[in-house]
Chains A and B, each alone.
Chain A
Amino acid sequence: MELTTPGVATLRRDPDQRALGDAETADAALAASGDGRAFERLYRSHVARVHSLVRRMVGPDHADDIAQDVFVRAWTKLGTFRGDAAFGTWLHRLAVNVILARRTTLGTERGRYVDSADVLEGVAGRPAAPELSMDFEEVIGRLPDGARQVFVLHDIEGYRHEEIADMLGIVAGTSKSQLHHARMALRRHLER
């Protein structure tokens, strides 16, 4: 039986594009010295990924604002980018930190770790009749915050449970449990 082992986000999402990586490292160095054009190139390359991450983590209502926050924060922190990892990896982790910091002000941390399959089934689960089928992204958005964040970070972004636990301030076992409940809820919405 085939086993699926999620890779690290940077490995799955950032394939070995050495030339691109070098160019982005150069752009990051230029941007750190105040070159706005270099920073705009970086923005253009990464805005879709950052915005998608934000939208999936906190929902569409605040996605534009928080995605802007991510790039503003990146601009102010460019001096700390040393090129040890790909720029996209650095930006992605920074984005996660900005999103998690904003959870508090958005109040999304309330009841985030509902460890009950029944609650998750009630929120996201329903018969998978074709006429009721929903966009997979939309269903993800209906998950409770904790389950959604773990699912996005693990199954979409490729982080490991230990990393997620560190980011969210939970234990790895809670991350695993939330992930399983999220998957169980989402499976009802797959097209058959």
Chain B
Amino acid sequence: MTDQWTDRLSEYLDGELAPAEQTALEAHLASCDACRTTLEELRRVVTNARALDDRPPAADLWPAVAGRIGLAARAQARPAVRRFSFTVPQLAAASVVLALVSGGGAWLLGRRGSPTRPDFVRRSVLNASAYPGDARFAAQVADLERAIAQPGRLDTATVRVIERNLRIIDRAIRSAQSALAADPGNSYLNLHLAQEMRRKLELLRQAATLAGARS
């Protein structure tokens, strides 16, 4: 049996009725067994829907997916025991980047004596225990951020662009650090982290140069 309220029961269940309609429907429910029963059934449908488990396909689709995106051929061509395909010059370059980042930070630290980090550096995404060069890198970042932070040096729109880009880079750094925590010896991730740290320094240097030019 249905009545004028039956079609509103789902909206009621989902909390989408206006307060006055909700009050009126609740008054109706108090005296209508049929609507109360229907409401409970609808509630069970929703509960069942939310409890459904995801099931994988009967057959593994990965070989077909890998074939369609050209990974199957590459996987066959690559020796099974080799996890990464970086060349020695690439790894050497990564080492140089790390050395530059760390060395630059150390030089700045030495020049400034004992630095006091501003709050935003203490809240930095970098976890000093997660990566050997982090503390020095953070100090270098703090120096550059202080140079940029002088009031009125950069217009609001420019600051927004810089901040947005920094957020993206910071996220990439966090992700790489997180992945490295699980796999510290991963050469690719080390290189990726070094690249992201360098990107951050380069962006801050550009911003500092811009700020200096406008002061």
Contact = CB atoms under 8 A, between A and B. Distances in A.
Interface of A: 1, 3-6, 12, 19, 22-23, 25-27, 29-30, 35-37, 39-40, 43-44, 47-49, 51-52, 55, 63-64, 67-68, 71-72, 75-76, 82-83, 136-137, 151, 155-156, 161, 176-177, 179-180, 183-184, 186-187, 190
Given A22-B174, A186-B45, A180 B7 contact: yes
Interface string B1-28: 0000001011111111000000000100
The binding surface of chain B is classed by DSSP as helix
B106 to A, nearest CB: 28
A155 B11 contact: no
B96 interface: no
B68 interface: yes
Contacts of A186: 45, 48
A5 B42 contact: no
Contact of B45 (A40, A83, A155): A155
A155 B49 contact: yes
The binding surface of chain A is classed by DSSP as helix
Contacts of B57: 47, 51, 63-64, 67
Contacts of A25: 171, 175
B15 A4 contact: yes
Q: For the complex of A and B, list the 10 residue pairs with the smallest distance between their C-beta atoms, beginning with the closest.
A: A22-B178, A26-B179, A187-B41, A180-B10, A155-B49, A36-B71, A26-B175, A52-B54, A48-B56, A48-B54
Interface of B: 7, 9-16, 26, 29, 38, 41-46, 48-50, 52, 54-57, 59, 61-62, 64-66, 68-69, 71, 74-75, 83, 168, 171-172, 174-176, 178-179, 182, 188-189, 192
B61 A71 contact: yes
B61 A68 contact: yes
Nearest to B12: A3
Nearest to B25: A1
Contacts of B192: 29-30
A119 B59 CA distance: 35
A3 B62 CA distance: 42
8 contacts: A4-B14, A5-B15, A6-B46, A26-B178, A37-B83, A43-B62, A51-B56, A83-B171
A30 B188 contact: yes
Contacts of B56: 47-48, 51
A126 B32 CA distance: 24
A20 B62 CA distance: 21
Contacts of A72: 65, 68-69
A48 B54 CA distance: 6
Given A26-B179, A26-B189, A72-B65, A156 B50 contact: yes
B171 A183 contact: no
Nearest to B2: A117
B53 to A, nearest CB: 8
A97 B79 CA distance: 37
Contacts of B172: 29, 83
Contacts of B179: 22-23, 26-27
Contacts of B64: 68
